A = this chain, B = another copy of it.
Amino acid sequence: MLVGDRIRLSDVARAAGVSLATASKALNGSGRMTAETRERVRQAAEAMGFRPNAMARALSSQRSFTVGLLTNDGYGRFSMPVMAGVAEALVDQGVSVFMCGIEDDAALGRLHVEAMLDKQVDGIICSGKRIDRRLPVDLSDLPVPVVYVFTDAPEGAVSLVSDDAQGAREAAEWLAGLGRRRLAHVTGPASFASARERARVFREVTGPDSTVLHGAWSEAWGHEAVARLWDGSAPPPDGLFCGNDQIARGAVDALRERGVAVPGDVSVVGFDNWEIVAAATRPPLTSIDMNLKDLGREAGRLMLALSEGRAVEPGVRRQPCRLVVRQSCGGGSAR
């Protein structure tokens, strides 16, 4: 990486013996010319280590090859994988990602959106941490396309979420497939659309009377739920599908404390596949992964299409989850 004056397009053009315009077209694959000429220019650019000045290019082409990624997820639990996916999808096209954390601060959100617009981003990807809440920014009527990921989106927007129903079905069927018959679902507050949807599907698989317990998204709730299930008069479950890995962790800890064997007596499936929690649980948790990086990658692709003016069907796209098998269920290896 050397300092020194950068090579300009005019240098390349001169070296290749063509005009500025031809050089531009040759390198951008636009215009019309002999393959030979195009190649000669390419070679010259390559040889001279030409890197186009993105600012100049943006100024004249009205495309900055930059997209903004807005997130309210302060810990990056959801947005980091999404960002990695977005970047992966776009890096080949020379597009980079402006990431801005705004927490739930509307003023900060406005500030960052304006900054993005000033920087002429080609589009904004808005990513959240739950699918039924919005970020505190109004992204309608923007002069650039917007893609929503893992957040609630306005009518008619392009949006991407993980498929809660399919994920819940994977989990429930995995437990059933292991021969577990008395299944219970311990999950987060019913105020979360994801919790309701997963519960709905869980019941669809396990029967309308099966047990669903709503509580907090916490280890403490996992604990408490186990107490309720095991201290009641009904026979306790032999399979537990938990709404997230923290609940699952709390449940597994509680079971160990009361001498119930996991996976011997009970199989437990978590949700999120949060490595740091799932792997540290004893035994490590089998869990549903939302494939957030794939979500990001797809968001990147859609953004690319939009910013090139290609049409994209609006609406909510659901991307599949996958089951990650560890040891909390016993039984088979990966499906």
Contact = CB atoms under 8 A, between A and B. Distances in A.
Given A1-B113, A246-B280, A54 B96 contact: no
A98 B80 CA distance: 13
A37 interface: no
A98 B101 contact: no
Interface stretch (A28-36, A116-124, A189-197, A300-308): A116-124
B99 A119 contact: no
A218 B275 CA distance: 12
A56 B53 contact: no
A100 interface: yes
Interface band, chain A: 35 or more
Interface string A103-129: 000001001111111111000000000
Contact of A59 (B55, B66, B87, B101): B55
A212 B2 CA distance: 46
A313 interface: no
Contacts of A139: 1
Contact of A58 (B55, B101, B115, B140): B55
Contacts of A52: 118
Interface in A8-56: 51-56
Contacts of A220: 280
Given A55-B55, A64-B55, A76-B80, A87 B116 contact: no
Interface in A193-236: 218-220
